């Protein structure tokens, strides 16, 4: 098996619902994606349930399944994974919270990303939170863009319930605040951040530029320290990951994948698809398995932008899937898997947990689907993995389904 080259390409959140503007097709079905369609026609196509019913749909849970790990066994929250990505040392008693910079308008969740605020601007807000409210028990850590962390010592948040802000667009803030033991502590920090950020010079600048302001923080994705079995020990392969988001970077570090940083990879629509594709092609020479994660379709889904989401999929097909397919075929012994982690609907602008379409092919795959890639065709095949993490073993080893 070690002589075979493997690549997994994840267009995050690419799965969706049928849309009238595409004559009842989903965005995946409407997109011009000749390379992925060729992979599907000449390979295996099916459905994969990446989100167990007991967990909330999100990349933290779903990407574990994509990588071949049972989320029910390993998952402890999103924030602990991102803490690993940032190299933050935490103790087993610490609670880690994802801390978004958000925009609240008319007491409603207007934007989970504060207009996709830059990392430089975001750090200024986080530094000011630390200056005002940081102490021996509470510390904030700046991350990428709007995505930051808070670590708390000395509190019990074991029954706390929080809401992912990207799934709460348009909801009244009062209805989605944290609930449970010590929730009042979190709510107090949220309210203090509103006062701290009011009339902030950066927000005044953003208003002048017609950009959404960062007028509050939002806590979610909480959990405690996480440990996972190394991928090489579990599956016998040395791997690397290409991604622009801390969540996937953190998962990669947890399973001891090398992280390949790509200049121009932003985690947004404007990411450098070509640079990611070139980095993946180069990595194939040095690793048994390469993961390429692209956040752009998910962000387009959260923005409710169907045409932009369609374009992100087409760019992934042209600049990442195409070059990777060409490179793999030079090796002769190869497998390539394309699958979103979860659906992100441009209608609801949130995640959902229904099964996603996957397709993989390789030089030894004979049981062709003869179908283009998409949700409807995947359902026709009758191939389904109800436990999404089990797909990895099949992708790596099985010849037929």
C-alpha 244/C-alpha 242 separation (Å) is 7
3-state helix, strand, coil in the chain (%, to 5): 40, 20, 40
Q: Could you tell me the pLDDT band of residue 238, with boundaries at 50, 70 and 90?
A: very high
The predicted-structure confidence for 192-207, as pLDDT tens digits, reads as follows 999 999 999 999 999 9
Structure-token match 């690397």, residue found: 240
**Which residue spans within 88-215 are E strands per DSSP?**
95-105, 108-111, 138-144, 147-152
Predicted confidence (pLDDT) at residue 47 exceeds the cutoff of 60? yes
- How confident is the prediction for the chain on average, in pLDDT? 96
**Which residue spans within 207-303 are E strands per DSSP?**
216-223, 239-242, 258-260, 289-294
Residues pairing with 103 in the sheet: 111
**Mean per-residue pLDDT, 28-54:** 97
Q: Could you tell me the pLDDT band of residue 1, with boundaries at 50, 70 and 90?
A: very low
**Mean per-residue pLDDT, 31-35:** 98
**Which residue spans within 30-94 are E strands per DSSP?**
44-48
Q: Could you tell me the pLDDT band of residue 398, with boundaries at 50, 70 and 90?
A: confident
* Cβ-contact 178, 161 below 8 angstroms: yes
C-alpha 359/C-alpha 59 separation (Å) is 19
Q: Is 179 helix (H, G, I), strand (E, B) or coil?
A: strand
Amino acid 2: pLDDT: 56
- pLDDT above 70 as % of the chain: 99
To the nearest 10 degrees (0 to 180), the angle between helices 306-316 and 296-303 is: 170
Structure-token match 């993995």, residue found: 385
Amino acid 382: pLDDT: 96
Taken in order of first residue, the domains within the chain and their CATH numbers are: 5-75+229-397 (3.40.720.10), 85-223 (no CATH)
Give the global pTM.
0.88
Q: What is the DSSP string of 373-389?
A: SSHHHHHHT--EESSGG
The predicted-structure confidence for 305-358, as pLDDT tens digits, reads as follows 999 999 999 999 999 999 999 999 999 899 999 999 999 999 999 999 999 999
- Which residues does 157 contact at the CB level (< 8 Å), separation at least 6? 95, 180, 181, 182, 222
Amino acid 366: pLDDT: 86
The predicted-structure confidence for 128-184, as pLDDT tens digits, reads as follows 999 999 999 999 999 989 999 999 999 999 999 999 999 899 999 999 999 999 999
Predicted confidence (pLDDT) at residue 235 exceeds the cutoff of 70? yes
* Cβ-contact 49, 355 below 8 angstroms: yes
Q: Could you tell me the pLDDT band of residue 399, with boundaries at 50, 70 and 90?
A: low
- What are 271's two structure tokens? 């990411």
């Amino acid at each position: 098996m070690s002589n075979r080259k493997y690549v997994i390409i994840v267009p995050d959140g690419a799965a969706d619902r049928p849309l009238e503007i595409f004559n009842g097709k989903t965005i995946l079905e409407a997109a011009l994606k000749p390379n992925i369609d060729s992979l599907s026609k000449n390979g295996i196509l099916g459905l994969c349930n990446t989100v167990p019913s007991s967990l909330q749909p999100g990349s933290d849970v779903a990407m574990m399944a994509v990588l071949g790990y049972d989320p029910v066994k390993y998952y402890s929250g999103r924030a602990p994974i991102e803490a690993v990505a940032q190299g933050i040392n935490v103790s087993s008693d610490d609670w880690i919270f994802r801390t978004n910079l958000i925009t609240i308008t008319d007491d409603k969740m207007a934007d989970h990303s504060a207009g996709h605020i830059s990392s430089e601007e975001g750090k200024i807000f986080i530094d000011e939170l630390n200056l005002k409210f940081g102490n021996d028990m509470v510390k904030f850590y700046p991350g990428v863009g709007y995505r930051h962390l808070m670590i708390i010592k000395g509190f019990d948040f074991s029954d706390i319930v929080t809401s992912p802000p990207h799934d709460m667009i348009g909801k009244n803030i009062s209805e989605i605040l944290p609930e449970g033991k010590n929730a009042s502590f979190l709510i107090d920090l949220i309210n203090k951040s509103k006062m701290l950020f009011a009339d902030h010079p950066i927000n005044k600048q953003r208003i002048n530029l017609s950009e959404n302001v960062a007028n509050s923080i939002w806590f979610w994705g909480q959990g405690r320290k996480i440990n996972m079995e190394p991928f090489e020990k579990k599956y016998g392969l040395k791997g690397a990951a290409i991604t622009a988001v801390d969540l996937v970077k953190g998962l990669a570090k947890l399973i001891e994948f090398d992280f390949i940083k790509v200049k121009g990879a932003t985690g947004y629509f404007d990411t450098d698809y070509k640079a990611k594709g070139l980095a993946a092609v180069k990595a194939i020479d040095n690793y048994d398995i390469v993961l390429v994660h692209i956040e752009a379709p998910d962000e387009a889904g959260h923005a409710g932008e169907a045409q932009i989401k369609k374009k992100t999929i087409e760019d992934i097909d042209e600049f990442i899937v195409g070059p990777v397919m060409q490179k793999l075929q030079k090796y002769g012994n190869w497998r390539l898997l394309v699958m979103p982690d979860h659906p992100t609907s441009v209608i609801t602008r949130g995640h959902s947990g229904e099964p996603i379409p996957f397709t993989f092919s390789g030089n030894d795959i004979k049981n062709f689907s003869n179908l283009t890639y998409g949700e409807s065709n995947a359902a026709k095949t009758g191939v389904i993995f109800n436990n999404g993490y089990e797909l990895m073993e099949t992708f790596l080893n099985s010849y037929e389904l």
